[in-house]
Structure formats: structure tokens, C-alpha cells
């Protein structure tokens, strides 16, 4: 065996097993692709030929696999795989539980939406039944939703304010005035449902189910918390039994609180009796509901069959019984729901003259409702192992649920988190739960509904106030969000504050705009950092992050840009290069221009070199007078003069600076046209200043953009290296060769 082989084996034995030993040539990107016969991955361009090819592929795919009814009507999918013995009992129990919960929530959220409670029961029947057929989520509970109900209530209350009457107005006349208001408001609510459904259907046609990605989690959390505050304040008049005006726009919450306070402080004897009775009812209901929720959360697993205690329906039943038996409306003047008609409404399209009034609210309601619904559906889908199709959800919400339901006097309906959690906790497996709950609601609409005519409004207000407890808990999201990202924390705060103090719609708009601005800031203010070489490795890390001082090559620097390069952030990269290298191309080029002018003007009759205290300067004289602005063409001593000036400039005026800049492009995912122009201009400026610039870790998409942008044609492929270490090694070997050549040349001349 040869001695060299034994030495290699000894070296391998001494090295630890986790040591990486690499020995290869330095590669530019072009040489690496040539050696290993790689083809760069180019971005796909939108051409007529590609469109034709894609159209043919789509046609043949549909021809071979025609769209089945299971895709258009998802109910067939889960029905065909339904496990009767394992799922039927949990679905029945869950269906009854959710249906019982739908009754009080439907009536409560209808009042929140500015509607008569009967329309909340309609909304708990028609949309629920339609979604069970056309929706893809098996665990979301459709019906009235607090946030969208509040948004609708703000719209309809502004368009059709509450009726005004004094305390001497007879009860029958008050009921007639309220009926006229409710009849007008439901037309606006149905119109909002139809417009929102058409909007969602349009998104489904354009395959834009991913629109929800523009609603960030911090924004939705802050918006939800702000809505919870709005919902709670809107229920104060029901909790205290006083009236308050209908307001919309900025500071509407302040005016509602003002009205409640003013009315509470200006009560007569009859008013004090009503308020006292209402406050007692509200306090009992709130305490009972909070206690039931606490029991359900703490002892969920110990409850019979895992079914939570239906606190809301207990409040409705007991409240109705006590109100009817004690005649709270007659003896204490407590506000009650009043007449609830039985039966189903005759379908009728919303009048067209209402569309323009609510269109500004209908689209935001549809977006928020769909965003929350799909987010919730994806959570349940991932938990229980089935797929949610966002575009089919748009079809279900748009074409079938909202549009069709609007003909039956339903306002916009979306899933409720509280009901959905109850459906999951009670063991629901499929949308059979929704069908059973809709059948229970049908029973209420046909026969049981009028029984609830005596329920006090305070009971429903208490149900809403307690139901938003989870929404108010969103305030807990702020501290962890703030710790992770200050921009996300600011988004949360602004979305919440705008929703509370401006308006629900304005709060949504502010939240979305701030979220998009955060994206702009993050892509514009991209960090660029100087890298340092870790000894005996090909690894480079941020300079200044080492505990021990690292020896650096002063002639070369490595800069990493941590984001895409485009028109909005190219100046950040330029500033980072100038800061790290200490070279400002604008100043240096101007200085170089001035020095070149001096060299040209130095062709004079004589040049005096003056040494004063170790300082060397040039004094240009012409006939005994100092004149640096005269240039004499064809001076016989021109060559010697120029050499003298160049020597002085090189010795003193030329600053010590880096000679090579390597730009790490590993995190530059794309580069636009201004970015390519910036790279071209930067290379040109620094080359003029005799500073070599190199690129490393360039992805194929960016390499393609550089090629079509003229960079490769101008500077060649040999300035783009496979890695940072390749670029540094190549330059250092070249610098070493140049130094050896200069020394040999100097020795030879001597």
C-alpha cells in the first residue's frame, strides 16, 4: 500500500463520524449546470400555445372523468359512506341538542340583526337544510351568527330606525309601529342575503375561494373582539329595559351608551318598576347561563352521553312560563317578544328598490361570514380527517343557501362557533345533525312558535350577552401576538379599536388595509446583513453574532438580502451595500471624475512636487503663476506629468476600501424589472470604482430574469456562483495570483 493511501485512511479514522469532508472545484452556476447536465427551471410564460394545450388537457380530463353529482351535491358523498350503526345514535342526539339550541339563539340573534324573532327561526331552518345538502363541512352548525347579525343590524337600524313613542302610547299602537318597522327591515335583510349570495356565487365562478387569505388571523381576532364589544353594548337596552336610539357610523357606541345612561337617570315611577324587574330577570338569566357554561366546560366528559346542559333553552322555557304566569308585561310593563306567527312564509323575492340601500353592507357581511365559516370548517375537517372544498363552499353559501333562503325572508346565515362546538361535543358525525335540527325547527315553526310569545326580551338579551363571552376572550390573543410581531399586534389593536369606535364595516375595512400595509412593510423593509465566514467551513453567518472575534478578510465582504428584490425595496439593498462596504458610488464616482479632470489639466509646462511635514502635494505652475485650470495640448512632458500625478493620487487621495462584494441571493425569490436595472447599475458603478461584484445562490427564476434583462449579456455567466463559498474562494485565489504576479513584476523591474 502506498504511503499516501495510508495517510488518507489514518485521517479518516481520526475524524469524528459526523464530520463533513468536501473537496471539489470552484463552480460558477454555468459550469455546475454544464458538468452535471442540468437544465434551469424557467418560469412558465402565458402564451397562446400554452393556453391551447391546457384547454385540451382540461377537456380530455373532463371527458374521461365527467363531473359526478357527488361533486355538485356533497350530501351523496357522506351518505354513501354513512356508518349507520356507529353514527346514527350520536347524530340523533347531536341533532336534537343543536336544534334545541337553535331556538333561543335564532330569536336572540334576530333581535341583534334588528329583526323580529320569527325571522331568526326562519333563518335557523331554510339555510340549515340547504347547507346540509350542498356544503362540504360535516360539523359546522348553520344559522344566525353574532358578527354578521350585528353588521346587518347596524345597516337596517340606520335605514329604518326604531319607532318613537312616549310612555303614554298604548301597547297595541306600539306593537303596530314595531310591526311596520320589522316588515320593512326584513326586506332589507333578505335583500342583503340575496346580494351576498350573488357575490359569493360570482367568486365561485371565478374560482376565488382563496379570497379569505387576505383576512389575517390577528385582524380577524381583533375584529371579532371589537364586534363582541359592539354586541354587548347593543344588548344594554334589553338588559336594563330602556330604549336607545339606532345609530351607525363613527362613535355610534358612545351615543348608545349615552342614551342608556340618560334614560336610566330620568325614569318615572312606572319606568323604575319596569327597569327593576328587567334587571332582576337579566341578572338571574346571566348568572344561570354563566354557571351552566362553567359546568359544561369543567365536567363535559362526566355529563350523560357527553351532552352539555342546554342552558339557553332552559332560560327560554322558564322565562316564558314565569312571564306568562306572573303576567310580567301587564303587572311590571316588562318588554316581551309579542305575537309569533305559526307556519312557513310564502316565498317572495326581495324588492329591487332595497338593493342599493344594503349593497355596501351585504358584501362585507358575505366576506366576513364566508371567511369565518371556511376557517372553522377547515379546523374541523383537519381534526376529523376529511377535505373542505372552498369553492364548493362558495357555491353552497351563494347559489343555494343565501340566494334561495332570501326568498323565504331569511337574513344572511353563517355558522356559529358556539353551536358548532356543541355539535362536536355532543358527538355529531355528519350533516344529518343539521337535517334533524332543521326538522325540529320546522316543528317549532308549525306548532310550537306561538308558545314563546310571552318570553321577555331580557332573556334573549342575556343569552346574547353570555354567548359573546368567547368572543370577548379574543382579547387574550393580543399579548402572544404582540410578543411574536409588533406589526401583527398593531393590526389587532387598530382592527379592534376601529370596530368599536368607528363602525363594524369601517372596522373591517381598517383591519384589511392595515393587514395589507403590514405585508407591504415586510416586503419593502427587508433586512440585509453582512455575513462572516466561520473558520474551516463553507458556512457564513451574520457578522457580529459570534461571541469570539472572527478574523475577517478586509478586502472582501458578503451581503445577504433577506427577501425578494423589487422596486419598493431596492434602495434598502443599496443602502446596505454602501454601509457594509463603506463606499458610496455617488460620492466616489463624483470624486473620481474630479480626479480625472485634475489629471487631464496636469498637462502643463511644469509640475512641482512639494513635501511638507510628510505631506506630498502637487503645485501646478504656468509662467510662475499657480494655475490649475490651464491645460496645454501636446505638452512634451505630458506623460511624465501624468505618471507623477497618478503616483501621488494612488499614494494619498485613493482611500483604502474593499475590493470585492459578494451578494448572497439565496432568499431572493423573484426580481422585477426595476430590480434587474438596479443590479445592472450597481455592477456598473462598482466596476467603475475597481470593485468586483459577484452573485451567489441565484435561483433559476431569478437567473432567467437576469438573462432576459441583459445582465448576463453584459457581465457574463462567470459572475454568478453556485454558493457564497465558491465566490469567495474564486476571488481569493484570483487575488493571490494577482499579488504574486505584481511582486514578480516588481522584482523583475528592479
pLDDT tens profile 545-575: 777 766 677 889 999 998 889 888 888 899 9
Record the cell numbers describing residue 525, joined without a space.
423593509
How many residues make up the chain in this entry? Answer: 750
Helix (H, G, I), strand (E, B) or coil at 328: helix
pLDDT at 60: 64
Strands of the sheet containing 556-561, edge to edge, are: 540-542, 528-533, 556-561, 660-664, 692-696, 720-721
Give the ranges where 235-268 is alpha helix by DSSP (H): 236-240, 252-265
- pLDDT of 119 > 90? The answer is yes
8 A C-beta contact, residue 379 and residue 213? no
* Chain centre to alpha carbon of residue 598: 58
- 410: closest CA among 233, 192, 218, 663? 192
Give all strands (DSSP E) within 397-437, no chain letters.
Answer: none
Q: Which residue has the higher pLDDT, 222 or 2?
A: 222
The answer to whether position 55 is within a domain reads no
- Residue owning grid cell 362540504: 136
CA distances from residue 199 to 159, 194, 641 in whole angstroms, order as listed: 22, 9, 80
pLDDT at 5: 42
pLDDT at 194: 93
CB atoms within 10 A of CB 178: 15
- pLDDT of 402 > 90? The answer is no
How large a percentage of the chain has pLDDT more than 90? 20
Q: Which of 56-70, 240-254, 391-405, 669-683 has the lowest mean pLDDT?
A: 56-70
> Could you give the CA distance from residue 651 to residue 618 in angstroms, rounded to a whole number?
12
pLDDT at 478: 92
pLDDT at 118: 92
- Residue owning grid cell 454544464: 34
State the DSSP code for 456: B
- 308: closest CA among 142, 96, 156? 96
Picking from 503, 519, 535, the residue at the C-terminal end of a domain is: 519
Percentages (nearest 5) of helix, strand, coil residues in the chain: 65, 5, 30
Record the cell numbers describing residue 337, joined without a space.
317578544
pLDDT at 496: 93
Q: Which of 25-34, 160-169, 336-345, 702-711 has the lowest mean pLDDT?
A: 160-169
The answer to whether position 57 is within a domain reads no
649 plus 666 within the same structural domain: no
pLDDT at 34: 82
Enumerate the β-bridge partners of residue 328: none
| Element (DSSP H or E) covering residue 124 | none
**Number of C-alpha atoms within 13 angstroms, CB side, residue 288?**
19
- pLDDT of 388 > 50? The answer is yes
8 A C-beta contact, residue 583 and residue 657? yes
- pLDDT of 597 > 80? The answer is no
Read out DSSP for 301-317?
GGSGGGPPP-HHHHHHH
pLDDT at 640: 53
135 plus 258 within the same structural domain: yes
pLDDT at 177: 86
408 plus 288 within the same structural domain: yes
> Could you give the CA distance from residue 180 to residue 460 in angstroms, rounded to a whole number?
22
553 plus 465 within the same structural domain: no
Record the cell numbers describing residue 590, joined without a space.
463624483
Helix (H, G, I), strand (E, B) or coil at 610: strand
pLDDT at 646: 54
pLDDT tens across 648-687, in order? 555 444 555 789 999 999 999 889 899 999 999 999 999 9
Domain extent at residue 683: 26-42+526-583+657-750
- 2 Cβ contact list (under 8 Å, min separation 6): none
Helix (H, G, I), strand (E, B) or coil at 696: strand
pLDDT at 602: 61
Burial of 113 (0-12, 13-18, 19+ CB in 10 A): buried
The separation between the first and the last C-alpha atoms of the chain, rounded to the nearest angstrom, is 49
- pLDDT of 614 > 70? The answer is no
- Residue owning grid cell 465566490: 727
Which band of pLDDT confidence, cut at 50, 70 and 90, is reported for residue 322?
Answer: very high
- Phi, psi of 531, rounded to the nearest 5 degrees: -105, 150
The answer to whether position 673 is within a domain reads yes
- Residue owning grid cell 317578544: 337
Q: Which residue has the higher pLDDT, 121 or 519?
A: 121
The answer to whether position 68 is within a domain reads no
- Residue owning grid cell 470585492: 660
Burial of 430 (0-12, 13-18, 19+ CB in 10 A): buried
Record the cell numbers describing residue 176, joined without a space.
303596530
Record the cell numbers describing residue 257, joined without a space.
351608551
511 plus 543 within the same structural domain: no
355 plus 480 within the same structural domain: yes
284 plus 311 within the same structural domain: yes
Picking from 474, 501, 519, the residue at the C-terminal end of a domain is: 519
Give all strands (DSSP E) within 599-747, no chain letters.
Answer: 606-612, 615-622, 625-626, 660-664, 692-696, 720-721
Burial of 84 (0-12, 13-18, 19+ CB in 10 A): exposed
8 A C-beta contact, residue 661 and residue 695? no
Average pLDDT, the chain: 81
Q: Which residue has the higher pLDDT, 40 or 593?
A: 593
* Chain centre to alpha carbon of residue 439: 38
- 177 Cβ contact list (under 8 Å, min separation 6): 163, 165
344 plus 432 within the same structural domain: yes
8 A C-beta contact, residue 192 and residue 412? yes
Residue 543, domain CATH: 3.30.750.24
- pLDDT of 22 > 90? The answer is no
- 275 Cβ contact list (under 8 Å, min separation 6): 240, 241, 242, 264, 267
Structural domains counted in the chain: 3
**Number of C-alpha atoms within 13 angstroms, CB side, residue 252?**
28
Helix (H, G, I), strand (E, B) or coil at 358: helix
Q: Which residue has the higher pLDDT, 418 or 315?
A: 315
Picking from 622, 638, 656, the residue at the C-terminal end of a domain is: 656
The answer to whether position 304 is within a domain reads yes
Q: Which residue has the higher pLDDT, 657 or 746?
A: 657
Helix (H, G, I), strand (E, B) or coil at 503: coil
Record the cell numbers describing residue 145, joined without a space.
351568527
pLDDT tens across 81-92, in order? 888 888 898 899
Angle at 227 between CA 221 and CA 232, to 5 degrees: 130
pLDDT at 498: 93
The answer to whether position 58 is within a domain reads no
pLDDT at 732: 86
- Phi, psi of 710, rounded to the nearest 5 degrees: 90, 0
The answer to whether position 704 is within a domain reads yes
469 plus 551 within the same structural domain: no
Which band of pLDDT confidence, cut at 50, 70 and 90, is reported for residue 124?
Answer: very high
pLDDT at 651: 46
Q: Which residue has the higher pLDDT, 589 or 193?
A: 193
Helix (H, G, I), strand (E, B) or coil at 16: coil
> Could you give the CA distance from residue 246 to residue 259 in angstroms, rounded to a whole number?
10
497 plus 541 within the same structural domain: no
Q: Which residues of 544-574 are buried (b: 16+ CB within 10 A; e: fewer)?
A: eeeeeeeeebeebbbbbbebbbbebbbebbb
- 475 Cβ contact list (under 8 Å, min separation 6): 225
207 Rama class: left (phi>0) / alpha (psi -120 to 50) / beta:
left
> Could you give the CA distance from residue 749 to residue 139 in angstroms, rounded to a whole number?
89
pLDDT at 558: 92
The answer to whether position 684 is within a domain reads yes
Enumerate the β-bridge partners of residue 542: 531
- pLDDT of 384 > 80? The answer is yes
pLDDT tens across 440-473, in order? 999 989 888 888 888 898 998 888 888 888 788 8
510 plus 532 within the same structural domain: no
How large a percentage of the chain has pLDDT more than 70? 81
pLDDT tens across 218-237, in order? 888 898 888 889 888 888 98
- 241: closest CA among 271, 278, 269? 278
> Could you give the CA distance from residue 661 to residue 27 in angstroms, rounded to a whole number?
17
Record the cell numbers describing residue 105, joined without a space.
339563539
pLDDT at 600: 67
537 plus 647 within the same structural domain: no
Amino acid at each position: 500500500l502506498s504511503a499516501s493511501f495510508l495517510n488518507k485512511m489514518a485521517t479518516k479514522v481520526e475524524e469524528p463520524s459526523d464530520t463533513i469532508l468536501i473537496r471539489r472545484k470552484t463552480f460558477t452556476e454555468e459550469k455546475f449546470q454544464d458538468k452535471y447536465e442540468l437544465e434551469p427551471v424557467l418560469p412558465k410564460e402565458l402564451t397562446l400555445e400554452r393556453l391551447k394545450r391546457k384547454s385540451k388537457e382540461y377537456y380530455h380530463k373532463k371527458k374521461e372523468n365527467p363531473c359526478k353529482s357527488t361533486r355538485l351535491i356533497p350530501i351523496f358523498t357522506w351518505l354513501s359512506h354513512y356508518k349507520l350503526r356507529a353514527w346514527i345514535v350520536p347524530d340523533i342526539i347531536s341533532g336534537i341538542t343543536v336544534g334545541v339550541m337553535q331556538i333561543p339563539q335564532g330569536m336572540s340573534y334576530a333581535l341583534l340583526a334588528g329583526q323580529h324573532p320569527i325571522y331568526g327561526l326562519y333563518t335557523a331552518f331554510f339555510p340549515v337544510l340547504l347547507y346540509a345538502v350542498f356544503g362540504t363541512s360535516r360539523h359546522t352548525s348553520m344559522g344566525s351568527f353574532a358578527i354578521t347579525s350585528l353588521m346587518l343590524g347596524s345597516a337596517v337600524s340606520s335605514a329604518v330606525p326604531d319607532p318613537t313613542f312616549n310612555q303614554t302610547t298604548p301597547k297595541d299602537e306600539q306593537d303596530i309601529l314595531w310591526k311596520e318597522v320589522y316588515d320593512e327591515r326584513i326586506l332589507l335583510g333578505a335583500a342583503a342575503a340575496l346580494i351576498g349570495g350573488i357575490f359569493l356565487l360570482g367568486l365561485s365562478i371565478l374560482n376565488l375561494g382563496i379570497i379569505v387569505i387576505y383576512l389575517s388571523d390577528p385582524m380577524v381576532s381583533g375584529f371579532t373582539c371589537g364586534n363582541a364589544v359592539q354586541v354587548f353594548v347593543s344588548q344594554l337596552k334589553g338588559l336594563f329595559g330602556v330604549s336607545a336610539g339606532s345609530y351607525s357610523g363613527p362613535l355610534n357606541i358612545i351615543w348608545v351608551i349615552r342614551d342608556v345612561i340618560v334614560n336610566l337617570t330620568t325614569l318615572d315611577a312606572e319606568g323604575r318598576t319596569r327597569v327593576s324587574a328587567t334587571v332582576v330577570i337579566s341578572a338571574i338569566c346571566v348568572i344561570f347561563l354563566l354557571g351552566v357554561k362553567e359546568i359544561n366546560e369543567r365536567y363535559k366528559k362526566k355529563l350523560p352521553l357527553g351532552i352539555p346542559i342546554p342552558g339557553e333553552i332552559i332560560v327560554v322555557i322558564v322565562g316564558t312560563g314565569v312571564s306568562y304566569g306572573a303576567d310580567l308585561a301587564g303587572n311590571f310593563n316588562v318588554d316581551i317578544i309579542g305575537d309569533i306567527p305559526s307556519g312557513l312564509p310564502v316565498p317572495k323575492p326581495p324588492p329591487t328598490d332595497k338593493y342599493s340601500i344594503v349593497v355596501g353592507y351585504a358584501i362585507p357581511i358575505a366576506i366576513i361570514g364566508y371567511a369565518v365559516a371556511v376557517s372553522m370548517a377547515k379546523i374541523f375537517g383537519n381534526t376529523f380527517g376529511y377535505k373542505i372544498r372552498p369553492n364548493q363552499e362558495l357555491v353552497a353559501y351563494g347559489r343555494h343557501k343565501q340566494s334561495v333562503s332570501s326568498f323565504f325572508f331569511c337574513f344572511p346565515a353563517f355558522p356559529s362557533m358556539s353551536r358548532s362546538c356543541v355539535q362536536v361535543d355532543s358527538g355529531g358525525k355528519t350533516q344529518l345533525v343539521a337535517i334533524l335540527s332543521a326538522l325540529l325547527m320546522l316543528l317549532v315553526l308549525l306548532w310550537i312558535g306561538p308558545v314563546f310569545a310571552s318570553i321577555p326580551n331580557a332573556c334573549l338579551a342575556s343569552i346574547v350577552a353570555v354567548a359573546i363571552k368567547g368572543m370577548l376572550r379574543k382579547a387574550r390573543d393580543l399579548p402572544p401576538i404582540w410578543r411574536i410581531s409588533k406589526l401583527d399586534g398593531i393590526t389587532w389593536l387598530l382592527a379592534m379599536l376601529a370596530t368599536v369606535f368607528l363602525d363594524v364595516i369601517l372596522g373591517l375595512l381598517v383591519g384589511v388595509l392595515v393587514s395589507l400595509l403590514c405585508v407591504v412593510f415586510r416586503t419593502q423593509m427587508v433586512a440585509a446583513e453582512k455575513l462572516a465566514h466561520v473558520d474551516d467551513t463553507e458556512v457564513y453567518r451574520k457578522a457580529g453574532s459570534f461571541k469570539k472575534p472572527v478574523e475577517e478578510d478586509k478586502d472582501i465582504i458578503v451581503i445577504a438580502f433577506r427577501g425578494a428584490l423589487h422596486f419598493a425595496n431596492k434602495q434598502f439593498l443599496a443602502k446596505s451595500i454602501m454601509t457594509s462596504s463603506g463606499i458610496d458610488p455617488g460620492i466616489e464616482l463624483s470624486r473620481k471624475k474630479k480626479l480625472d479632470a485634475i489629471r487631464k489639466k496636469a498637462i502643463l509646462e511644469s509640475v512641482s512636487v512639494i513635501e511638507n511635514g510628510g505631506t506630498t502635494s502637487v503645485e501646478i505652475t504656468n509662467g510662475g503663476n499657480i494655475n490649475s485650470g490651464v491645460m496645454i495640448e501636446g505638452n512634451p512632458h505630458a506623460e511624465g506629468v501624468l505618471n507623477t500625478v497618478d503616483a501621488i493620487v494612488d499614494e494619498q487621495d485613493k482611500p483604502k476600501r474593499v475590493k470585492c462584494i459578494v451578494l448572497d441571493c439565496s432568499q431572493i425569490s423573484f426580481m422585477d424589472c426595476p430590480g434587474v436595472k438596479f443590479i445592472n447599475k450597481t455592477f456598473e458603478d462598482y466596476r467603475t470604482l475597481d470593485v468586483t461584484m459577484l452573485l451567489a445562490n441565484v435561483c433559476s427564476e431569478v437567473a432567467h430574469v437576469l438573462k432576459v434583462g441583459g445582465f448576463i449579456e453584459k457581465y457574463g455567466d462567470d459572475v454568478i456562483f453556485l454558493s457564497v463559498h465558491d465566490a469567495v474562494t474564486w476571488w481569493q485565489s484570483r487575488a493571490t495570483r494577482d499579488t504574486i504576479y505584481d511582486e514578480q513584476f516588481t522584482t523583475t523591474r528592479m
